[in-house]
Amino acid sequence: MNGTYKNITIQIKDSIAVLSFNRPDQLNAMNREMMDEIIAGIEEINTNDKAMVAVITGAGRAFMAGADIKEYGSQTPEQFKAFQDRGIQLYETIEHAPKPWIAAVNGFALGGGFEIALSCDMILASEVAKMGLPEVFLSLVPGGGGTQRLIQRIGINRTKEMLFTGGQYSASALFDWGIVNHVYKDEEFDTEVLRFAGKLTRRPSGAIQQLKRLAHLSLSPIPFSQKIEEEGQAVTELFYSKEAKKAIQDFIDKS
């Protein structure tokens, strides 16, 4: 993989790409340089045919503790706008990726770190993980889609609670709320994440890509009838693909 990164690492093995934030001494807090590297790393993985599934995680005891406040607070207006614009690009590069992205939350995921997790297709969490949007303590609001993506997952009442209190929530609580897909014991976390990701590598990539697109389409404001039409077009397209023909015939032969 590309060896020029300073603040992240990327590894690909068994069709699983793992992008790790790598500023453990700073709890992986994100500065401008790191944000640029994350975007480049995501794009590198998205275009790499060897990676069928992507995992994003953090080195040390944090997933990501949000923005690097020292740098964030000293930005000029031009730098602040550029940082916000690049942040939007970061989250959308994950959200609109053709392959599934899994957030493996190994520790603190706060502010922008939690927003990155929310932009992923699924969140797997260690039992020691803590997540939240603490921007209110700085007289700010989340600036990376946190208010909008969170409400899509858990509804307005609990979203308001998380935003208004700015609290840190346990992995088990967020599992109960439907934000986290699975919670694993800390000592088994890395193994379980790779085991889960490995399941997805054994699913046809064409079907996964369409399923991700259709799931996001369900949240769009277009008419329901158009969503159903899109679904029908997708199943028709896949039905005539070589992969589906083979899978269907294999199923028939085994019956």
In 3-state terms, what secondary structure has residue 170?
strand
Helix (H), strand (E), coil (C) string for 69-107:
HHHHHCCCHHHHHHHHHHHHHHHHHHHCCCCCEEEEECC
Catalytic residue among 71, 92, 135, 187: 135
**135 is known as an active-site residue:** yes
> In the chain, which ranges are continuous DSSP H helix?
32-46, 69-73, 77-95, 112-119, 146-154, 156-165, 171-176, 189-201, 205-217, 224-239, 242-254
Active site residue 243: no
Q: Kindly state the helix (H) or strand (E) to which residue 57 belongs, with its residue range.
A: strand 53-58
Distance CA 181, CA 146 (A): 18
Check if the beta carbon of residue 73 is closer than 8 Å to that of residue 32.
Answer: no
- The answer to whether 30 touches 65, Cβ cutoff 8 Å, is no
Find the largest Cα–Cα distance for the chain.
66
The catalytic residue among 43, 78, 115, 187 is 115
Contact residues for 160 (Cβ-Cβ < 8 A; gap 6+):
none
Residues taking part in catalysis: 115, 135
